[in-house]
Chain A
Amino acid sequence: MRRLVSAENKPIAIALGFILVILLIGTGYTLSTTGTAPLLSPNYLLQQLQIGAFLGICAAGIMMVILLGHIDLSIPWTLTAAAMTATAIGGDMAVPTALAVGVAVGLVNGIGVAWLRIPSMIFTLGVDTVLRGLMVAQTGGFAPQDTATPLMVFLAKERLLGIPAAIFVWAAVSLAIVVILTRTGFGRAIYATGSREAAAYLSGIHTRWVILGAFVVSGVCAAIAGILLAGYSAKAYQGMGNVYLLPAIAAVVLGGTHILGGRGRYIGTLIGVILIVLLNSVLSIMQMPEAGRQIIYGAVIIAMLLVYGRNQRVLS
């Protein structure tokens, strides 16, 4: 008997099903309490996606790194540093400078992980702490007074053809990632390096440069998210990126990307992000207190991973 869904797509199918379940439960709840179904209105969904764009862009970047079997814990302060630099510089150069911050952080991370061979878990954590230190020293520990430039506000808040511009940015980033992963040698090299770096090296892939490239993409994505978030809140503030790291990792993993690298499709990450955003919005519609939210959030991740099918009994 042919299997309906291939092993790689199974998590994606389950996650899609789960999104429907969340929508059904949420709609059932609002119908029973207020008699309306705001969750199904396109306007509400677009608004949720607009907020989800920040998470989505972070997740897109970190997915490249996770595909290599590494992780990027410097996302929070890369995001914040990019946002703070952008608002401090201001003018036309704000966005390019923020992107440059992202590239620079990615280069540092990549060199540390690929050349110095320090485990990414600890190296990116150190980079995150250093960035936080730099920003605290720079701003004095307060939210800087500089405001976001009109371009940043436009990208984050305005609508184009009735659709929030942030969604277009998210779509553009997504398209770029999909093209990189499926249509370029770099993308294939990422999968190869993530599966077994020694084998990739022996088959002539410059694995160090691949790792460097993936970290740069991750840094740039965090910087883009920072630009949007600063535009959305009209300015940058301390710790603005802290809430995005763990949900981004969760979204990537819920989308079927293997945390040890080598396997995963971008569409899964996209669905993982939508799932988390919808879960959050349904919980806030239900006015769930923070305690209940955290418990449900954790339980959902565990439950879904249990459904996905499990690792081998013994890892070789």
Chain B
Amino acid sequence: MLAKSLTRWLQQNLGFAAAILLLVVLCLVYNILHPRGFSSAVAIQNSNEAVAIVFVAMAQTLPVLLGGLDLSVGAVMTLTNCIASELLHGSPAQILLGVVVTLLSGTAFGLMNGIIVVYGRIQPIIATLATGAIAIGLALLVRPKPGGDVDEDLSWALTNSVADFAETYGIADGGQAWWLSPFADIPVPVILVIVVAALVWIPFRRSVTGRTVYAIGSAEGSAYMSGLPINRAKIAAFTLGGFLAACGGLYLAIQTSSGNADIQQAGAYTLNSIAAVVLGGTSLLGGSGGAIGSLVGALILRVISFYFRILDIDPLLQPLIEGVVLLTAVSFGAFRTLRVKNKLDLFR
């Protein structure tokens, strides 16, 4: 019985399972090859660098589930990154306000995307191409030159281990409390990602709105005929995408203590997010997959780039290797063509 349901889960989530397997293997080999072995410091540094792309990839997942694409996620992340770099200093209340304003601005931008797509009835890919340009323009207005002022305590606390977090803010006896010790070495960014995934994504997926997003991606006409709230689901998907992109921008500002309205960087984040979504087993046709898969996909992309640090590879070859790995990974999707029984199923 259990074996049967496990087999069924595997059949339905083949891409996701493969992604997890790939990530586990990559991480194991990485930690074996690492000259200093597995240590908290390495885990903290690597997880810090992975957070932004993880959030952006999760943001990209929602429009992809609808069968669309959001070309503005990188730009929204850049915009919120710039806003956060302006606001995150001063008294604790001011910082908290800054965090809220940053997240709200990203969410509002996502809401605007959703409204344009739903009521403007423009294809998501082209609508977000245009709103992405607007987001970059706003980011340049907020921060014409790279730089910023982010509270140092906040930056330190959120980019280190749980013990350092507790020590910075003097909670749990300055990080020495006995009940904290099992978690003391876990990097804070890992906890942040897990909290957002557990408190935002999973409830959303289980709600009617979330299920409707999947239904629209599978067959929009049928979803409409079944009386599902199509418009609400689409707007919610883009709004949540904006929120998750804002989480990425916020964390990037905290991590780097600065904001940078860089068009190239925004484009790179958008394209990498698409790659991460696909690697995580979400279908670009919509209707299957999930943000957790994208999280894993983004981690795979990052771990591959971490390998360059510990292996003695010519830096000039790095982009080539990254590209070949990406191309090979997505080419495994071609096995689908071998399993198709009716050739017409290919043309979807």
- A contact set with B: CB distance below 8 Å: 73, 112, 115-119, 121-123, 125-134, 136-137, 140-141, 196-198, 201-202, 207, 239, 242, 246, 249-250, 253, 259-260, 289-299, 301-302, 305-306, 310-316
Contacts and interface: CB of A to CB of B under 8 A. Distances in A.
Given A136-B320, A298-B131, A315-B220, A122 B122 contact: no
B278 A122 contact: yes
A268 to B, nearest CB: 14
B348 to A, nearest CB: 8
Residue among A132, A294, A295 facing the most chain B CB atoms (10 A cut-off): A294
A263 to B, nearest CB: 12
7 contacts: A132-B319, A137-B320, A207-B347, A298-B134, A302-B120, A305-B130, A316-B221
Interface of B: 69, 71, 116, 120-123, 125-127, 129-141, 144, 220-221, 224, 230, 263-264, 267, 271, 274-275, 278, 284-285, 314, 316-324, 326-327, 330-331, 333-334, 336-337, 343-344, 346-347
A197 B343 CA distance: 12
A122 B140 contact: no
A241 to B, nearest CB: 12
Contacts of A305: 120, 122, 126-127, 130
A260 to B, nearest CB: 7
B63 to A, nearest CB: 12
Contact of A313 (B71, B121, B316): B121
A133 B324 contact: yes
A77 to B, nearest CB: 9
Contacts of A295: 133-134, 137-138, 141
A11 to B, nearest CB: 12
A129 B323 contact: yes
A242 B140 contact: no
A130 B327 contact: yes
Contact of B336 (A117, A313, A314): A117
Given A121-B69, A126-B330, A133-B321, A302 B130 contact: yes
Given A294-B140, A298-B133, A311 B122 contact: yes
A126 B326 contact: yes
B298 to A, nearest CB: 14
Given A121-B69, A129-B319, 6 more contacts: A122-B284, A134-B320, A136-B320, A295-B138, A314-B220, A315-B220
Contact of A122 (B132, B274, B337): B274
Contact of A141 (B271, B316, B344): B316
Nearest to B118: A313
Contacts of A196: 347
A198 B125 CA distance: 24
Q: What are the 3 tightest A-B residue pairs by CB atom distance, in nearest-first order? A: A133-B320, A294-B137, A129-B323
A29 to B, nearest CB: 20
A122 B275 contact: yes
Contact of B136 (A122, A123, A294, A310): A294
Given A121-B284, A133-B317, A297 B133 contact: yes
